[in-house]
Structure 1
Amino acid sequence: MTWTSAADAQRYGSTILVGDRVRFRALEDGDLPDLVRWWRDPEWAVLQQILVRPRPEETVVETFRSWSRSERSGEVGFGVVDRASGELVGHVTLFGGALPVRAASLAVMIGSEHVGRGYGTDAVCLLTAYGFREMGLNRIEIQVHAFNDRARAVYRKVGYVEEGVRREAVFHDGRFHDEVIMSALARDWAADVSEGASEVR
């Protein structure tokens, strides 16, 4: 849509960080205890991390601070909060989206007690839209363990396509597991939006 007034720009600005269920904001110090707790929980770490291992709190804190600095043009990170209550429910980031390729990787973590309430779907949809509409990305991809059927269903629901498999790329429980590469392209996303197909949140 071509903007013809300041009001058009302000309407866009009022929605770019707000989804149906969540909104994005900068990382706050008060977020860190929950983020550390969620990241170090082995039951959930096995779904996202390459190696399940306890890490010192300071290391995890610095990881989230690094992901959230949003200083480089191709990287951004947000705290994810419930739109109505303002309660922290997770964290999202896009990284590696620099010129000339403009292809970023997406990472999302929803706190264990908040899973299954639609926060992850809304957060992925909102971050994908942000990447294409505000960062000028051409491609966003995510690598997900093949056994994480719940996450793969979320990504498919918001328009990500399974495009390849990294065979036996993950090792847990004494055996190797596949990793699935999923992606969304700006042109496909724009077409879905124009057809109203992106209203899946």
Structure 2
Amino acid sequence: MLKGEKVILKPMRRDFLERYSEFLNDVELLLLSSDVAPMPMEYERVVAQFEEHLKRPRGDLLWFGIEVQGGKFVGQCILHHFDYAARTCELGITIGDGDYQNRKYGRDAVALLARYAFRLLNMEKVWLTTIASNERAAKAFRAAGFEERGRLRRHVWLDGRYDDLVYMSCFREGSRPADQRARSRSNQTRRYQPMPRMKPDVLQEYLEQPYVGVIATLRKDGMPYTVPVWWLWKPDGIWITGTYNRVWCKQLLNDPRASLCIESGPPMTGHVEFDGRVTAYHKDTFDIWPISKELATKYVGRGEPANAEAVEKFFANMQTEPRLLFKLVPEASRAIDMRVYRGKRADREFQESRGDTE
């Protein structure tokens, strides 16, 4: 099992196959993720391929299912075409669940699988192919460290037209051509020290704390409007409670774009931000009260059994109000662990000159 920031890679399992067969029969998905014409794929044929895979030597093809938090299967990725003399292999990936496409889950899976190939399999280069018209995939591959190496012009026939087949690859650090290493070092010297990202386990703990968030919504003129809110992290998004008569709730019903910022001081000094769009949930069509009760327990109860009565009173009052819920599905996020950030060199020198550091 391999853990990334947004995904977990697990060996392909039999219980993934039914959902995977649905991905293989999604024509629009195949037109983007494959370089061959879409054809019907029976579930039995998918099972047969899986059975055949189990009979092959383990080193021939490494096949992973892609899961997100909560254990949901959203796609698959592979390493295959190993050349153990040249230390190269090919990478393939499909994010089949539309709810997780174009949201950096594929990027995280690609980067995670490439690191696995370099660090544990001792590969020198990982390569892949994509069609030129799939700009979204190329962008994700570039973000994961891959660069275009060449293309076969008008090599693929898809959706009634020819397309280029693009070859991309990523080298293990230290094995790239000298001119590329020089460019990389030059680029690094021009950048400030990056802010340290939270490790996944730290982020999970952070999101369980009763820190008050600040949500930014949009006025009709496009200017931002901010207000503190209670929020609850779930694998499918961030739930926020509100009432119909509040300004920010009216703004979200008019324009679903929002940003949620969570900051805290010691002992878990950090900054987390989620940008995305919200979906409104109304109590006449959705049972909003279980999540509302969880929010009351988180912020009023604060993990103290002695606060149980206060939680019940607050929750009872919530049920008399014109409540609704919003679920923010992140399209971009940032998580910074400020406990390990010391600032740029000039900042550190200034702090030291004043005796602000240990």
User: Smaller-chain TM-score range?
Assistant: 0.7 to 0.9
Secondary structure of residue in 1 paired with 2:82: coil
Within 2, Cα distance between the matches of 1:78 and 1:138?
Answer: 21
Q: Calculate the TM-score normalised by the size of structure 2.
A: 0.46
Give yes or no for the alignment of 1:103 onto 2:88: yes
Cα deviation digits, residues 46-80 of structure 1 (max 9, x gap) = 11221111122222333355567783335311111
- Name the structure 2 match of 1:4: none
- Name the structure 2 match of 1:61: 47
Secondary structure of residue in 2 paired with 1:21: coil
- Name the structure 2 match of 1:26: 11
- Unpaired segments of 5 or more residues in structure 2? 198-333, 335-358
- Name the structure 2 match of 1:86: 71
Give yes or no for the alignment of 1:48 onto 2:33: yes
What is the aligned-residue RMSD (CA, Å)? 2.7
- Name the structure 1 match of 2:132: 146
Secondary structure of residue in 1 paired with 2:47: helix
Partner amino acid for 1:101? Answer: A
Within 1, Cα distance between the matches of 2:47 and 2:66?
Answer: 16
Secondary structure of residue in 2 paired with 1:55: coil
Within 2, Cα distance between the matches of 1:183 and 1:158?
Answer: 10
- Name the structure 1 match of 2:117: 131
Distance 1:74 1:186, change over 3 A: farther
- Name the structure 2 match of 1:179: 165
Residue 120 of structure 1, aligned match among 97, 100, 106? 106
- Name the structure 2 match of 1:5: none
Distance 1:182 1:156, change over 3 A: same
Within 2, Cα distance between the matches of 1:33 and 1:167?
Answer: 36
Within 1, Cα distance between the matches of 2:170 and 2:6?
Answer: 22
Within 2, Cα distance between the matches of 1:160 and 1:144?
Answer: 12
Flag the structure with higher strand content: 2
Q: Calculate the TM-score normalised by the size of structure 1.
A: 0.80
Structure of higher CA gyration radius: 2
Give yes or no for the alignment of 1:17 onto 2:2: yes
Partner amino acid for 2:140? Answer: V
Within 2, Cα distance between the matches of 1:78 and 1:68?
Answer: 13
Aligned length: 181
Secondary structure of residue in 1 paired with 2:59: coil
Residue 117 of structure 1: CA displacement? Answer: 2.5
Residue 188 of structure 1: CA displacement? Answer: 5.4
Partner amino acid for 1:25? Answer: K
Residue 116 of structure 1: CA displacement? Answer: 2.3
Distance 1:65 1:173, change over 3 A: same
Partner amino acid for 1:54? Answer: P
Within 2, Cα distance between the matches of 1:130 and 1:111?
Answer: 22
Give yes or no for the alignment of 1:164 onto 2:153: no
